[in-house]
């Protein structure tokens, strides 16, 4: 029998999706499963994006340009200018989701054996992208006691070696919901300048900030034009996860030229999805105001209710729509599986994402879960009550 590659065997399972078979079995048994495990918004996609596809007069669904359609990239620059980000269409490569954008970026700037520093916990697929590219992650741990704020710059400096090529952040952060401040971004800017590193920022949750806080992009720092790489996507912003349209944005011409070669190798991003994404850029500001107001209400409800459960510690997210919850359990993987296999309350249960998979360091996050507050308030209340009763029974 032929052997599977070492790389293939090393690829991690998704902590978000690996419990899906258990959830499907529960549903087959007639159990209602509240899904707190995945960042799939329940907010409706802007109607103009849907209509643009429906109204298309295309008769031959042809390849698009490898770098993405010129119209879409040009209109993206107009969107970014409203966010104090000045770029032109040639600074943008359209990709099949932010995942492909990051995969192309890592392939463009790093060789097998190179190192990348990432504050953990981080988006779980960063682990997979690094394994696929033969890259070593140097994790720097942020803690729930500090609400997952940026670790001290001195801790970053301790990790840097001649093999270190980049620092990667997600801002606002998935899975913690932490929003890096302007001051924290400027501290990172100084270290990448000092050591001549790339600074990659996954900014797909840019619109989702709360309590009057504002997002500050690395692309606003013109002193690192050659170091800054922004990863973006329509998935969360417009509730268009299924469109699979993202992009790489950088003023580093050599970087963009290299990413384009990866883009050419996969031919082109999907045409209809670009049509929808182009139309989505005309979404009125009221849409975002209403969405942010809704998520802020959900966040407040979730945090308030979770804090009433004995033995629980919860972070206070300032952005995105996730939070990390520390549970009074030894292994959240076992607990999450038990919820789906063995526990129901009035014919209902919950699905959560064990947080260990959002870390690179071993044995960290074993008693934590990530919750995505993408359910309406009524369902959130039901889900939290189920979690509360489940913890009581789990310990008995």
DSSP letter string over 26-88? HHHTT-EEEE-SS----SPPPHHHHHHHHT---SS-----TT--HHHHHHHHHHHHTTT----
- Walk me through the domains of the chain, giving residue ranges and CATH numbers: 6-44+286-394 (3.90.1150.10), 60-280 (3.40.640.10)
> Residue 327: what pLDDT?
97
Do the Cβ atoms of 247 and 93 come closer than 8 Å?
Answer: yes
- Assign 364 to helix, strand or coil: coil
Backbone angles phi, psi at 33, to 5 degrees: -110, 115
- Assign 293 to helix, strand or coil: helix
Residue 40 has pLDDT above 90, yes or no: no
Which residue carries 């971004």 as its tokens? 185
> Residue 211: what pLDDT?
96
Task: Give the range among 118-122, 245-249, 391-395 with minimum mean pLDDT.
Answer: 391-395
**Helices H / strands E in the chain, number of each:** 13, 13
Kindly tell me the burial class for residue 35, based on how many C-beta atoms sit within 10 Å of its own C-beta (0-12, 13-18, 19 or more): middle
Q: Taking residues 15-30, what's their average pLDDT?
A: 89
Whose CA is closest to 124, among 360, 299, 318, 350?
360
Task: Take residue 111 and report the two structure tokens written for it.
Answer: 């060789």
> Residue 395: what pLDDT?
80
Q: Taking residues 87-96, what's their average pLDDT?
A: 98
Residue-level length of the chain: 396
Whose CA is closest to 123, among 156, 172, 183, 189?
172
- Assign 250 to helix, strand or coil: coil
CA dist., res. 200 & res. 299, Å (int): 27
More confident residue, 193 or 12: 193
Please report, rounded to a whole number, the percentage of residues in the chain having pLDDT higher than 70: 100
Whose CA is closest to 66, among 101, 95, 104, 98?
95
More confident residue, 278 or 41: 278
> Residue 245: what pLDDT?
98
pTM: 0.96
Please report, rounded to a whole number, the percentage of residues in the chain having pLDDT higher than 90: 93
Q: Taking residues 131-147, what's their average pLDDT?
A: 96
Q: Taking residues 148-165, what's their average pLDDT?
A: 97
List, for residues 366-389, the tens digit of each pLDDT value.
999 999 999 999 999 999 999 999
pLDDT-derived band of residue 321, with 50, 70 and 90 as boundaries?
A: very high
Q: Taking residues 97-126, what's their average pLDDT?
A: 97
Query: From the centroid of its chain, how far is CA 345?
Result: 31
Do the Cβ atoms of 208 and 202 come closer than 8 Å?
Answer: no
List, for residues 270-297, the tens digit of each pLDDT value.
999 999 999 999 999 999 999 999 999 9
> Residue 12: what pLDDT?
86
* Beta strand 32-35 pairing with 348-351: parallel
pLDDT-derived band of residue 18, with 50, 70 and 90 as boundaries?
A: confident
Whose CA is closest to 7, among 160, 112, 139, 144?
112
């Amino acid at each position: 029998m032929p052997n599977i590659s070492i790389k293939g065997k090393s690829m991690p399972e998704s902590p978000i999706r690996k419990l899906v078979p258990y959830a499907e079995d529960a549903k087959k048994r007639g159990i209602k499963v509240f899904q707190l495990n995945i960042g799939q918004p329940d907010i409706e996609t802007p109607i103009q994006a849907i209509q643009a596809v429906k109204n298309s007069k295309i008769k031959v669904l042809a390849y698009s340009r490898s770098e993405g359609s010129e119209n879409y990239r040009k209109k993206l620059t107009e969107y970014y200018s409203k966010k104090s980000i000045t770029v032109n269409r040639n600074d943008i490569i359209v990709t099949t989701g932010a995942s492909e954008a990051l995969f192309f970026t890592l392939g463009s700037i790093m060789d097998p054996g190179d190192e990348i520093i990432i504050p953990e916990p981080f988006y779980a697929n960063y682990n997979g992208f690094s394994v696929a590219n033969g890259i070593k992650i140097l994790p720097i741990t942020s803690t729930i006691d500090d609400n997952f704020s940026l670790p001290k710059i001195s801790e970053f400096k301790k990790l840097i070696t001649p093999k270190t090529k980049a620092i990667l952040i997600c801002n606002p952060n998935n899975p913690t919901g932490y929003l890096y401040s302007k001051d924290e971004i400027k501290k990172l800017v100084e270290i990448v300048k000092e050591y001549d590193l790339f600074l990659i920022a996954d900014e797909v949750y840019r619109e989702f900030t709360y309590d009057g806080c504002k997002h500050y992009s690395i692309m606003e720092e013109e002193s690192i034009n050659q170091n800054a790489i922004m990863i973006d996507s329509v998935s969360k912003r417009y509730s268009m996860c299924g469109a699979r349209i993202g992009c790489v944005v950088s003023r580093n011409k050599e970087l963009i030229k290299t990413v384009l070669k990866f883009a050419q190798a996969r031919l082109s991003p999907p045409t209809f999805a670009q049509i929808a994404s182009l139309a989505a850029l005309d979404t009125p500001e009221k849409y975002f105001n209403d969405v942010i107001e809704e998520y802020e209400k959900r966040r407040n409800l979730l945090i308030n209710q979770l804090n009433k459960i004995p033995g629980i510690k919860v972070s206070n997210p300032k952005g995105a729509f996730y939070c990390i919850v520390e549970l009074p359990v030894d292994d959240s993987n076992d607990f999450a599986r038990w919820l789906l296999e063995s526990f129901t309350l009035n014919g209902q249960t919950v699905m959560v994402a064990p947080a260990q998979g959002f870390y690179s360091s071993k044995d960290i996050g074993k008693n934590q879960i990530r919750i995505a507050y993408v359910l309406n308030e009524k369902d959130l209340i039901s889900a939290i009550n189920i979690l509360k009763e489940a913890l009581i029974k789990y310990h008995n």
